[in-house]
Amino acid sequence: MTGGYPDVILASGSPRRRELLGSLGVPFVVQVSGEDEDSGETDPARLAAELALLKGRSVSAQWSGALVLAADTVVACDGQLLAKPQDTAQNEAFLRLLSGRTHQVFTGVASLCGGESTVEVARTDVTFRALTDPEIRFYAQSGEGLDKAGGYGIQALGASLVCRLEGEYTNVVGFPLSVVIRLLRAGGVPVWNEVRGA
Ligand SMILES: Cc1cn([C@H]2C[C@H](O)[C@@H](COP(=O)(O)OP(=O)(O)OP(=O)(O)O)O2)c(=O)[nH]c1=O
């Protein structure tokens, strides 16, 4: 406990989540959970919630009194769940599937503190323009999508694949800030320079 509110632990190895949480002016410590099991859950929103809680629980056990945040992003297209592509060929296959279609991005964010846990899931609908074969090959070979659910990163070169977005942008990047801010405040953690209780 520092400054009258709980320490914040980010249970994530994602540089995007680190950057987005940092943008809120909240001091935090990173501890990667390493948890990312395939539970067999097929509903994307439930899977995102379940994996966020799983990641958070494994870290929370080591930090009593701290507020632990964990997240998981799941991409779903026509009933198929797209995890991180295993290689460039699979990344190309993902892009072919997403081309000219609307898919859903779900991010579950879990907040754990003092034995209590809350999880919320945000959804954004993302539409890709119709991609040409050379574009698909070029993007897959760039390697940008390999460590990202769905095989693309909207925050970089992947922005050029997208023609429409419905919902929160930061949810697609893996950390929906409207949800994160709500969970931090509910846990008594001030965002930016707000005075607690003001
Ligand atoms: C669709 C999309 C996903 N992503 C990223 C967000 C997540 O980091 C990643 C999905 O994988 P996750 O398993 O949610 O997270 P992670 O393994 O990167 O990190 P950790 O489990 O340690 O928290 O995909 C983008 O950065 N941009 C995008 O446009």
Domain membership of residue 1 (yes or no) is: no
CATH of the domain at 145: 3.90.950.10
- Ligand 1 midpoint to CA 126 (Å): 16
Over residues 77-107, the pLDDT tens digits come to 999 999 999 999 999 999 999 999 999 999 9
pLDDT of residue 38: 72
Domain membership of residue 2 (yes or no) is: no
Q: What is the total count of domains within the chain?
A: 1
- Which residues are identified as catalytic? 72
Domain membership of residue 164 (yes or no) is: yes
**At 97, which helix (H) or strand (E)?**
helix 88-98
Domain membership of residue 48 (yes or no) is: yes
Domain membership of residue 182 (yes or no) is: yes
Structural domain for 64, as ranges: 8-186
Confidence tier at 3 by pLDDT (50, 70, 90): low
Pocket residues: Cβ below 6 A from ligand 1: 12-14, 16-17, 32, 36, 55, 71-73, 75, 105, 148-150, 152-155, 158, 172-174
pLDDT of residue 1: 64
- The phi-psi region of residue 15 (left if phi > 0; otherwise alpha if psi is between -120 and 50; otherwise beta) is alpha
Domain membership of residue 84 (yes or no) is: yes
Domain membership of residue 196 (yes or no) is: no
